[in-house]
Amino acid sequence: MKLIVAVVQDKDSNRLSNALVERDFQATKLASTGGFLKAGSTTFLIGIKDEETDAVLEIIKNHCKSRDQLVAPVSPMGGNADSYVPYPVEVQVGGATVFIMDVERFEKF
């Protein structure tokens, strides 16, 4: 068994969860926050059989778009101004950041 942990943008999370339900994959959605942008995201926990891994990855790939996002500059209050960038910087976020883990044991009580 595998556990897929997928960090996706909030904008894609409904489409992704609908697609997973449609294909009978069970998932848990957690509200999360990116460490760098500090923007809201959704983290999916998806428990599946080993042989379902590729199908789930394909669904994630097809429902999560990568987008460019602007990072506003943060002024270095009293700090070192040498590395301060006074204009917004564009970063590319997503489609999805996916971790695939082996599950040692799975129980439902």
Residues near ligand 2BA (CB under 6 A) are 7, 34-37, 39, 41, 91-94, 97
Q: Which is nearer to ligand 2BA, 17 or 41 (CB)?
A: 41
> What does the alpha-carbon distance between residue 105 and residue 15 come to, in Å, rounded to a whole number?
30
Least separation in angstroms between CB 23 and ligand 2BA: 24
Least separation in angstroms between CB 88 and ligand 2BA: 13
> What does the alpha-carbon distance between residue 56 and residue 68 come to, in Å, rounded to a whole number?
25
Closest residue to ligand 2BA in the complex (CB) = 34
Least separation in angstroms between CB 34 and ligand 2BA: 2
CA 25 from chain centre, in angstroms, equals 17
Least separation in angstroms between CB 39 and ligand 2BA: 6
> What does the alpha-carbon distance between residue 99 and residue 94 come to, in Å, rounded to a whole number?
13
CB 95 within 8 A of CB 41: no
CB 3 within 8 A of CB 45: yes
Q: Which is nearer to ligand 2BA, 21 or 91 (CB)?
A: 91
> What does the alpha-carbon distance between residue 50 and residue 48 come to, in Å, rounded to a whole number?
6
Q: Which is nearer to ligand 2BA, 21 or 39 (CB)?
A: 39
